[in-house]
Amino acid sequence: MGMRLIPGILLRCNGLTGIDSASTEWNRQSGEQSPLYFLAGGAYNTAMKTVAFETVGCRLNQYETEQIAAQFAKYGFRRVEFDEPADLYIVNTCTVTGRADASCRNIISRAARHEKNPPVVVIGCYVDAEPDKVAQLNGVDLVIKNSDKVKVLNILQEKFPHLFEEDRDIPQIEAITEFHLHNRAWIKIGDGCNQHCTYCVIPLVRGRLHNRAPEDITREINTLSQNGYNEVVLTGIHIGQYTYGDIESPAKLVRFILEKSDIVRIRLSSIEPQEVTAELIEAIIDGGRRVCRHLHIPLQSGSDRILKIMRRPYNVQRYREIVGQVKDRVPHVVIGADIIVGFPGETDDDFQQSVVAADSGLLDYLHVFSYSDRPGTDASRLSGKVNPDTIKNRNAVLRAISGKHYAEALKREVGEIAYVISEHRAESDNHYWGITDNYLKVKLPADVGGGKAVLAIRMESASERYLAGRMI
């Protein structure tokens, strides 16, 4: 098949050349509403129907990949792994940090190396952030924005008709029934965010907050439960602001799901500190072991000065009070936090305040992010950028603190019975990894078999990185 021109914004595939910022800016301002397609020439094999997916980034992105994959499966495509030959490669991208962008580029170049030159389609947040740049990456045939994810198959049918049967209808995008290569499933409860923290590009690429109907959520959870899943993770960009009809808070959604579904346990994904309310803590307690004793509550900085510039709506003292309340009320709860190092203007003193907060004993693990400018954000225009070596050193300091507190959290559980779900794949011939309801890693013997069952394990020992025990 030769080069075909596609309606929308046509771009030139000229390898890894970058694009100037004026052009990127033009696209952000003018290209928001219309689908953005790019198609290059290529020789496609028309004999097979296989599709391979790779996802970068958050659980929401992973959920959306599964949703698209379910639609492909209904149409009749066979899903293969990304390193296998396929008729179509789809890369669902993330742009939350510069590192995420680099991972996406790496995966795209892997897909482009497949010798039969199948179409490589790039979707998701990196496309929304820098459409021209992504479209011009070597091997990219088509880019599709987040707002068009629900009609990926329709767009592909139009652009690559040789992959689709002429007289067959495209199924609707709908609920997922399984989560590929996972024993736990993520469930989308909402999308978008209205908060606009100054460093964050997500509201620019995901749009304003919109939530999903609770009945749809529970229907999907019940299907997954019938298919053997025992844990679902409630996922979104800003889940703490969940509200839909009479279900006016995440706490009410938790209670609704527990009442209307038979899922064994639910886990909340990352939730903003100001949204960890007394009502939510009560819902977690009332849920008993059906609500995982685990919260991930982003802190981002231990310096009130930096939090203010980040436009975070709390101070460190308030954060400590909230986390302290959860710890007091929910025995054995594990709490993690995101912290950014090297935000513009972060001084040694600001960083020391992050060290103090991280080392306070309230937090059991940290996800430490090295600040990188995200195009279009307010923070990217701030002066006082921190030296990359300083950022690297600060990152290492906080990671060491995280490791220390995680090891302490593991030790606390020795002697306890934990309910563990194993990972899908064995790590080696002699073990699987598993995860407790309170998000601690457990080394499991290979004979657990990697299924979705909840395993009761009495913890007998803890290393610095994981627990080990005996099945009871």
Nearest to 300 by CA among 351, 248, 235, 256: 351
Residue 240 CA to chain centroid, in angstroms? 16
Q: Please provide residue 248's backbone torsions phi and psi, each rounded to the nearest 5 degrees.
A: -100, 15
In whole angstroms, the minimum distance from the beta carbon of 132 to ligand SF4 comes to 23
Token digits of residue 154: 């329709």
Tell me the sheet residues that pair with 431: 428, 445
Give the contacts of 370 (CB within 8 A, at least 6 positions apart): 97, 99, 340, 341, 342, 391, 392, 395
Q: How far is the CB of 198 from ligand SF4 (least distance, A)?
A: 9
> Residue 297 CB, nearest distance to ligand SF4 (Å)?
12
Closer residue to ligand SF4 in complex, CB, 312/452: 312
Q: Which residue is nearest to ligand SF4 (CB)?
A: 200
DSSP 147-188: GGGGGHHHHHHHH-GGGS-TT-PPPPP---S--TT-SSEEEE
The minimum distance between CB 181 and ligand SF4, in angstroms, equals 26
Spatial CA neighbour of 54 closest among 117, 134, 115, 109 = 109
Comparison of 217 and 237: residue with beta carbon closer to ligand SF4: 237
Cβ nearer to ligand SF4, comparing 298 with 434: 298
The site that binds ligand SF4 (CB under 6 A) totals a number of residues, namely: 10
Give the range of 20-28, 136-144, 188-196, 219-227 binding ligand SF4 by CB under 6 A: 188-196
Return the closest-CA partner of residue 225 out of 286, 184, 164: 184
Site stretch for ligand SF4 (CB under 6 A), options 23-31, 189-197, 286-294, 395-403? 189-197
* Region binding ligand SF4 by CB under 6 A among candidate stretches 27-35, 169-177, 190-198, 353-361: 190-198
Smallest separation, CB 205 to ligand SF4 (Å): 10
Query: 306 to each of 176, 196, 402, how far by Cα in Å?
Result: 40, 15, 21
Query: Within 13 A of 317's CA, how many CA atoms are on the CB side?
Result: 1
**70, 237, 401, 455: which one binds ligand SF4 (CB under 6 A):** 237
Q: Which is nearer to ligand SF4, 272 or 350 (CB)?
A: 272
In the bound complex, what is the minimum distance in angstroms from residue 229's beta carbon to ligand SF4? 26
Beta bridge partners of 93: 124
Residues 73-132, interacting with ligand SF4 (CB under 6 A): none
Q: Which helix (H) or strand (E) holds 468?
A: strand 467-471
- Tell me if 380 contacts ligand SF4 by CB under 6 A: no
Q: Which is nearer to ligand SF4, 118 or 240 (CB)?
A: 240
Q: How far is the CB of 209 from ligand SF4 (least distance, A)?
A: 9
CA distance 35 to 122: 13
How far apart CA 278 and CA 267 sit, in angstroms, is 17
- Over the window 193 to 212, marking each residue x when it contacts ligand SF4 by CB under 6 A and - when it does not, the resulting string is x-xxx--x-xx---------
Residue 40 or 193 having the CB closest to ligand SF4: 193
Nearer to ligand SF4, 155 or 306 (CB): 306
Residue 136: CB minimum distance to ligand SF4, A: 27
Shortest CB 428 distance to ligand SF4, Å: 36
Site string for ligand SF4, 257-286 (x = CB under 6 A): ---------------x--------------
Q: What's the rounded Cα separation, in Å, for the pair 380 and 357?
A: 25
- Tell me the closest approach of the beta carbon of residue 336 to ligand SF4, in angstroms: 15
Residue 188 vs 431, nearer CB to ligand SF4: 188
User: Nearest 5 degrees, angle CA 329-CA 335-CA 341?
Assistant: 140
Distance (Å, rounded) from C-alpha 180 to C-alpha 183? 8
Residue ranges in contact with ligand SF4 by CB under 6 A: 193, 195-197, 200, 202-203, 237-238, 272
